[in-house]
Amino acid sequence: MKKITIALAGNPNSGKSTIFNNLTGARQHIGNYPGVTVEKKEGTLVYHDYEINVVDLPGTYSLSAYSEDEAVARRFIVESKPELIVNIVDASNLERNLYFTTQLIELNVPIVIAMNMSDVAQKNGQDIDFQKLSKLAGIPIVPTVGNKNIGTEKLLDVLVKMYENKIYNHQVKVNYGLEIQQEMAKLEHIIVKDKQLLKIYPMRWLIIKLLEEDLFVIDIIKKSSFGVQLLLQNEKSRHHLELHFGDAPESIIADRRYGFVSGVCTQSLNQSVEQRHSISDEIDKIVLNRVFGIPLFALVMYAIFKFTFTFSGPLVSLFEKAFELMGAFAAEVIPQGLLQSFVVDGIIGGVGGVLGFFPLVLFMFFAIAFFEDSGYMARAAFVMDKLMSRFGLHGKSFLPMMISTNGCAVPGIMASRTLENKRDRMITMMVTPFMICGAKLPIFALFISAFFPQEYGANIMFFMYFLSVVIALCSAWVLRKFVFKGETSHFVMELPPYRLPTIKGLLLKMWERGWLYVKKAGTVIVMVSIVIWAGFTFPQYSGPKGNSLTEPKMTEGEIAAVQLEQSYAGKIGNFIEPLMRPIGLDGRSGIALLAGFAAKEVVVTTFGTIYSLGEVDAEEPGSLRESLQKDKAWSPLKAMVFMIFSLIYLPCVVAIAVFFRESGSKLKWLLFLIFWTTVLAWGASFIVYQLGTLLSIGG
């Protein structure tokens, strides 16, 4: 069976992910590109006698490598040399999407255009002559409707025929005009001598990128055999073009590309009806309204939490019961002793607390994915831009913050690369960890379900989300005012048309994010659970247990309490307890928060281990939620304080490491982040606890 590698490339919101899911289904995996932290999605399928490896490149508007995503997409095409490129084009935004196509053509790779959302274009009154467009561009075109899985089979058929040379691919190059062509010829005269360089990179692409003064290509040329000559000639050519046109060469080249696209579209696109406002435009009159926009966004977020808590509740109870039964079964089967404690208290008691909330996490991811795929989240960024700019945050900062809410602070911090200004990037990275990531969700779910009525669950969760946004905005204002001074950059964002998400796409996205949660529970959290169990189990208490005639006999519960007190972890808890008392918490809470530095889910794991070890004499040891409710040391006020501290204090060790790297490996910013988040968390918790105690609220 022959193997083919194809790459999917296109603008964001062109339906690229849907096409990828249609092609690969569940046969896909996600990782990172070597050396960078940009997400790498790959999948495989078998078609006829071919095993096709599909690589979903990051969505980009350009191959000029202004961002890490663009650099990764370009490097993969140029250096990995896939056999075929599938250029996903949004038919309803033809001119903008085809500009990217003109750049792909310069890379001299076989291309097939998947003209996606052709049904939307038709509804908008756009009649595209695909056959004529294909001839004008010299590229095969396959109309597709990704969300209905229309055109997938035809696309595969064309790809295979192209690979077998049964379809002739004669791409039409952009004509940049006589002046630019002459300067390109001068550079070509030199570069053609470097055979080694041309084995790796296309000549025409190198020349155009040199004229555009692309830093990535300049670095390549500097290392080449004729680098000095090429750079000298390039300087002369650029100077000549600037004198001739009165503008930078990159602007002239961009104009020529747009001219080519405009000409192609003029000849192949007919507006069959009078241009009218689309449904998206009509909806946007409300969604983007300066009065209703932000309240509507708040309503959407509330709806997400309401959906999550309402529908996940029964499944969460079922999961909790399953882990209770698992623990009881293990306690009966395994003889009493260290091994039983290790399995029941360390593994099941610890990890079970986290996995018990797995249904809630899945429902949350499903709800967020729905609003993402529908096109609403792009509007949310647009709506929030004006508010965020008043606090010193860039509009694009909303994306990293939403990515953190969707799953984890780590990709959220990495997504700050899309911001060109360093000050904006640093502020975004500083405030992104305040958002409610998937790892914090089990903490809030545990304490909300334990101390607040079920009907108020979504309200409390929405309040925590609202609080995270307020803290992020206020922190950004302080940072912009006193640390990263300067004006906020302008924000321009494309608003994709609204679409009805597909169930398949939503389920795949939900499972991708949920599976990461499970993998984390099965690896990192298991290891940390073992460490926590060992910390509370050793050294084992060997003192008097009241077995003599002069001492009263101690119950198993009392022995367990002394064991927890005298263990290594217990001693650490006693040491930090004076810091926790002013905010209403004890040493055990301090230990849980310290453990949360490894991964925020471990906070729940730690409580699971503590209460599991402490309930050895309980007739019916219930769930962790029930254990917290029975503990008189807790109250709704203290639960709220603990959630606020968990929301604000320093991010997990992986997020800290990523922040350190993304901030330029500068120790001063890492120490500042640790200091800033910890002091802010303690200060906010202190105010809430002392004020609540003074007003006798939630005691």
Q: What is the pLDDT of residues 59-109, one digit of tens each?
A: 888 877 666 777 788 888 888 889 999 999 999 888 889 999 999 998 888
Per the domain annotation, does 513 fall within a domain? Answer: no
If asked whether residues 480 and 556 sit together in one domain, one would say no
Which pLDDT does position 550 carry in this prediction?
A: 58
Per the domain annotation, does 514 fall within a domain? Answer: no
If asked whether residues 374 and 456 sit together in one domain, one would say yes
C-alpha distance from residue 598 to each of 328, 602, 605, 654 (Å): 28, 7, 11, 8
Would you say how long the chain is, in residues?
Answer: 699
Which pLDDT does position 399 carry in this prediction?
A: 74
Q: Are 6 and 47 in contact (CB under 8 A)?
A: no
In total, how many domains does the chain have?
A: 4
CB atoms within 10 A of CB 63: 23
How is residue 656 written in tokens?
Answer: 């800290």
Select from 241, 271, 301 the last residue of a domain: 271
Per the domain annotation, does 168 fall within a domain? Answer: no
Identify the three-state secondary structure at position 83: coil
If asked whether residues 561 and 659 sit together in one domain, one would say yes
Question: Any residues with CB less than 8 A from the CB of 566 and at least 6 apart, and which?
Answer: 539, 541
If asked whether residues 183 and 159 sit together in one domain, one would say no
Which pLDDT does position 33 carry in this prediction?
A: 54
Q: Output the average pLDDT for the chain.
A: 85
Per the domain annotation, does 55 fall within a domain? Answer: yes
Which pLDDT does position 70 carry in this prediction?
A: 76
If asked whether residues 192 and 125 sit together in one domain, one would say no
Higher pLDDT, 673 or 349: 673
Per the domain annotation, does 512 fall within a domain? Answer: no
Rg of the Cα atoms in the chain? 30
Which pLDDT does position 204 carry in this prediction?
A: 92
If asked whether residues 575 and 651 sit together in one domain, one would say yes
Select from 490, 509, 544 the last residue of a domain: 490
If asked whether residues 159 and 182 sit together in one domain, one would say no
Per the domain annotation, does 504 fall within a domain? Answer: no
Structural domain range at position 255: 178-271
If asked whether residues 333 and 367 sit together in one domain, one would say yes
pTM for this predicted structure:
0.70
DSSP codes of every residue in 439-456: TTHHHHHHHHHHHS-GGG
Per the domain annotation, does 497 fall within a domain? Answer: no
Q: What is the pLDDT of residues 322-379, one digit of tens each?
A: 988 998 899 899 998 888 888 888 888 878 878 888 999 899 889 988 988 788 887 8
If asked whether residues 254 and 388 sit together in one domain, one would say no
Per the domain annotation, does 200 fall within a domain? Answer: yes
**What CA–CA distance (Å, rounded) separates 585 from 591?**
11
Identify the three-state secondary structure at position 214: coil
If asked whether residues 17 and 154 sit together in one domain, one would say yes
Q: What CATH number did the domain enclosing 86 receive?
A: 3.40.50.300
Select from 204, 237, 271 the last residue of a domain: 271
Q: How many helices (H) and strands (E) does the chain have?
A: 33, 9
If asked whether residues 297 and 188 sit together in one domain, one would say no
Q: What CATH number did the domain enclosing 230 receive?
A: 1.10.287.1770
If asked whether residues 561 and 649 sit together in one domain, one would say yes
